[in-house]
Amino acid sequence: MELENDNVLKISGLNVALQTEGGPSSLVHNLSFGMKKREILGLVGESGCGKTVTSMSILQLHDKKSLDVTGSITLHNKELNGLKEREMRKIRGKEIAFIMQNPMNAFTPVFTIGHQFMETIRAHTSLNKKQAKELAIDVMTSVNLPDPDKLLKSYPFQLSGGMLQRVMIAIAVSLQPSVLIADEPTTALDLHSQLLVLRLLDEVRIKYGTSILLISHDLGVISEMADNVIVMRQGEILESANVLELFDNPQHEYTKKLLKTRPTFYSDKQPYTYMS
């Protein structure tokens, strides 16, 4: 029986290398970390440090012809690395959901939101079209999306980036995944939309018990959302700590430099950072 303190997702000795004419080039080196139920784990670092490569490896979405992935990736103690594509398709979306940076890339423009929402649900369940629609409406209502019926009839281009991102989160949590990977989920959004998306992610973790891997270069987002933080550079983990410890007492010089770049936002005359 799985205990609350057990790791839902565990990465051990993960190495990712790109095969080139001159030999293998390391993208990720010896990564090890775990995620507990309801934990938000922040993964931070500059562009190209290996954050997205790590998430693609967890999802087993890497190009197997050019990338060599070794090490262990377990979900509820089930090994994912090397799993056949047919088996991984059952896990992606249902057990591990993914939210990308640009929500427009997640939707096909010629189909309504409702069509794509219901197809996602039906791909992983035995629900019929009517039942899938009812579930979609229930989930959208539960995450405070306004007028679900109207949203389901809309096309992606009719919604703002912030609304599309919130809809994508609703789709992601409709099957109550154990893990949600959010890769720069607020980067393309205005401040108001960022706040709404971050608040929604926090509600998801509380309501569904979902563990969230929050990938971001924005330490303002990480400081308000994460329970624990991993700092990466050049494919390696430089520092890993509780969020309060990391921000109050960073150990690595690179982390200290990152913290100096943390932005502060102002509303009227009152400074504030992101709030969940």
48 and 185 in one domain? yes
Residues 169 and 216 grouped into a single domain: no
pLDDT band for position 64 (cuts 50, 70, 90) = confident
Residues 73 and 186 occupy one common structural domain: yes
User: Model confidence at 271, in pLDDT bands (50, 70, 90)?
Assistant: very low
One domain for residues 64 and 137: no
CATH of the domain at 233: 3.40.50.300
The SS3 call for residue 84 is coil
Boundary-marking domain end, from 176, 210, 228:
176
Rounded CA separation 72/69 (Å): 9
What mean pLDDT, rounded, does the chain reach? 88
More confident residue, 235 or 23: 235
- For residues 136 and 203, state if they share a domain: no
143 and 159 together in one domain: yes
Quote the radius of gyration of the chain (alpha carbons, Å). 19
Identify the residue with better confidence: 135 or 104: 135
Instruction: Give the 3-state secondary structure of residue 225.
Output: helix
| Same domain, yes or no: 53 and 91 | yes
Task: Please state the domain count of the chain.
Answer: 2
- pLDDT tens, residue by residue, 110-147: 999 999 999 999 999 999 999 999 999 999 988 888 89
Q: Do residues 68 and 172 both lie within one domain?
A: no
Residues 23 and 122 in one domain: no
| End residue of a domain, out of 158, 176, 194 | 176
Regarding whether 137 and 198 lie in a shared domain, the answer is no
* DSSP one-letter string for 98-166: EE-S-GGGGS-TTS-HHHHHHHHHHHHS---HHHHHHHHHHHHHHTT-S-HHHHHHS-GGGS-HHHHHH
In the listed set 137, 154, 176, which residue is the last one of a domain according to the structure? 176
Residue 3 in this model has a pLDDT that exceeds 70: no
Whether residues 85 and 199 share a domain: the answer is yes
Say how far apart CA 35 and CA 190 lie, in whole Å. 29
Expressed as residue numbers, the domain containing 42 is 1-95+179-276
One domain, residues 169 and 185: no
Statement: the pTM of the whole predicted model exceeds 0.75: yes
Question: Does the structure show a pLDDT above 80 at 265?
Answer: no
Count, in order, helices (H) and strands (E) of the chain: 10, 12
